[in-house]
Amino acid sequence: MNTRTMNHRNEQPNGIRSHGRLILLFAVGILLLAACSPATPAPAIAPAVTQEEEIVEPTVAVVESTVMLSSTDELGQFLVDTEGRTLYLFTVDQPGTSNCSGGCAETWPPFLLGEAGLTP
């Protein structure tokens, strides 16, 4: 007879022992995940708030101007204002837009036609 003492672990087949370990690892993993998760769910990301901005067009002080025809022997005929300043054509401008602003517009104020246009 074998006098060796058998303990309970040696009596179980290998398959049952590893099954128990897997269940234990799975349970520990679930507990760890539950402990690490936030208590309340994260809030959904709110959509971006859009603000309507009022677009303000710059205003130009409309000054009534008088344009006269002037001439020199060298240049011929040209348009001037009441102060004798020459009316020029800035070829960089496009219809409805001016590329002269700030100090340029102060030195060379634009001649704007009103709705009525020119009066002879």
Q: Extract the tokens encoding 7.
A: 């303990």
Per-residue pLDDT reduced to its tens digit, 11-36: 555 555 666 777 777 777 777 766 66
84 has a pLDDT exceeding 60: yes
Provide the phi-psi class of 39: left if phi over 0, else alpha when psi is between -120 and 50, else beta: alpha
What is residue 73's predicted lDDT score, i.e. its pLDDT?
Answer: 92
> For 22-36, b where at least 16 C-beta lie within 10 A, e where not — what string?
eeeeeeeeeeeeeee
Q: How far apart are CA 23 and CA 79, in angstroms?
A: 99
Does the predicted model carry a pTM greater than 0.75? no
Q: Tell me the average pLDDT of the chain.
A: 71
In tens, the pLDDT along 40-73 reads 666 666 666 666 666 666 665 656 667 888 999 9
Q: Which helix (H) or strand (E) holds 80?
A: strand 76-80
